[in-house]
Chain A
């Protein structure tokens, strides 16, 4: 919104006293009266076609790897880690893994509304270190984050530590060796590391969410470098995520999630009811946007816990319903403006909220998503999700 006038109020604003606000209003009213009478300065530009965009341009850069990285970081083209040089040859090699034209616009990426052409996606994937055959996954992920349902604007520009988590389903996960087992959310796998990183570079270089500028994260989180895994379909007793969402079992998909973090839950209890109770207790926290607005959180169940539940005769839908009940939180645990925001945001759904109202984490049990991933061990993971975003699953289109 480069043309909009902005009246500036001093930060922090939300914690000011009532009297301090009156003083701010006195200055701000004069600014508003003046700004509304000033014409915009930018000349109108004709909106281009949404089907194609200019091709990327080559620039001269140092050949020395250290100097090349300094060159990228100075221009804010990198994420702070060493990049692979996006040479013409490297990008051409990657483009062979799609039938789509290099100048085809896959999506526009908020907040900068940059044109995510196939070529620009490939450039950023090369920089991230992706193998050429990973390109269709990154293209699908770029399309998914740009859907209205995902609400990327809110993820990219928020003060929350919102990272985009990629979950790969279908046979492609094995072809590309995306880790779904031990340490699948950790280090050590080329595909997991570079696929997540490629999307981060797309979000930064095409979406223009630069840290400290349009990316307003107060602290951020390490997962903003890369956050990607596959579902452990072989170890899951239930239908995998993409089948649950209407895709064929042999389809290849990527799911994008606006994740606020990962919280480990170590539970060696033998009774499924005890594990559900502990999961539900852990999911509750009063400063959570899931509870304030009604969220769409994820739970990554270890194969051990998923199979414990399955042995009890529970379907995935049963587990969601049990978790939804077990994770209801007493509204009074949220205080001050968080309580007020919850009362405002969830009034239509829950009626008037009092301190003793039990507030569910999401509007419906089905809004909780369960993924089975990880290796042997008694650990499952809670993944709270950024406000007003809903995960999106997109098919990965391969060349053959």
Chain B
């Protein structure tokens, strides 16, 4: 490169890459699915409709809904522990 100089790349590496691969379900039939409603407008309605469809069309055994106080706060530890204990997969949203 003509008339060049050396400068530092200012972008730092990420040190918290995932430590294990996310496991896949063989099927969602017969499974328990959790929803964390993040209180974004309309997500509660979407989750209600999804619950109906996942049970009726895809054979899901049970859907568990829990609502967060707001989108930008994490779910309480107790809610997380309950969902991890009871669910095969957990869905959170919506992000907009």
Q: Footprint of B on A, CB under 8 Å? A: 2-7, 9, 11-16, 18, 21-22, 24-26, 28-29, 32-33, 36-40, 42-48, 50, 53-54, 56-64, 68, 77, 85-88, 91, 105, 108-109, 112-117, 120, 123-124, 127, 151, 153-154, 158-159, 201, 205-206, 208, 292-293, 337, 341, 344-345, 387-388
Contact = CB atoms under 8 A, between A and B. Distances in A.
Contacts of A337: 41
Contact of B18 (A2, A21, A61): A2
B8 A25 contact: no
Nearest to B55: A29
B73 to A, nearest CB: 5
B14 A115 contact: yes
A64 B4 CA distance: 8
A85 B53 contact: no
Contacts of A47: 15-17, 19
Interface in B7-62: 7-28, 39-43, 45-46, 49-50, 53-54, 57-58
Contact of B10 (A18, A201, A388): A201
A13 B7 contact: no
A115 B11 CA distance: 9
Contacts of B49: 21-22, 25
Contacts of B95: 6
B54 A33 contact: yes
Contacts of A40: 18, 21-24
B67 to A, nearest CB: 8
A13 B94 contact: yes
Chain A CB count within 10 A is highest, among B42, B57, B91, B94, for B42
B25 A37 contact: yes
A36 B31 CA distance: 11
22 contacts: A7-B93, A13-B94, A14-B94, A21-B45, A25-B49, A32-B91, A36-B25, A36-B89, A39-B21, A50-B15, A61-B4, A87-B7, A108-B15, A113-B16, A114-B14, A115-B14, A124-B10, A127-B10, A159-B96, A292-B70, A293-B70, A388-B70
A28 B95 CA distance: 14
Contacts of A108: 15-16
A9 B46 contact: yes
Q: Closest 10 interchain pairs by CB?
A: A14-B41, A25-B49, A40-B22, A154-B72, A114-B12, A29-B53, A39-B24, A45-B17, A120-B12, A205-B10
Contacts of B78: none
A54 B50 CA distance: 45
Chain A CB count within 10 A is highest, among B7, B28, B49, B70, for B7
Contacts, number: 202
Given A25-B49, A120-B12, A208-B11, A45 B18 contact: yes
B13 to A, nearest CB: 6
A29 B58 contact: yes
B13 A46 contact: no
B45 A123 contact: no
Contacts of B58: 29, 33
A88 to B, nearest CB: 7
A160 to B, nearest CB: 9
B70 A77 contact: no
B72 A61 contact: no
Given A21-B45, A86-B8, A151-B72, 4 more contacts: A7-B93, A29-B50, A60-B6, A63-B4
B23 to A, nearest CB: 7
Given A44-B18, A108-B15, A28 B10 contact: no
A118 to B, nearest CB: 11
B15 A113 contact: yes
Given A25-B49, A47-B16, A61 B7 contact: yes
Contacts of B19: 44-47
Contacts of B53: 25-26, 29
Contacts of B20: 44
B3 A63 contact: yes
A44 B22 CA distance: 9
A4 B22 contact: yes
A28 B19 CA distance: 28
A175 B46 CA distance: 56
B5 A341 contact: no
A62 B13 CA distance: 24
Contacts of A11: 96
Contact of B94 (A9, A64, A120): A9
B72 A14 contact: no
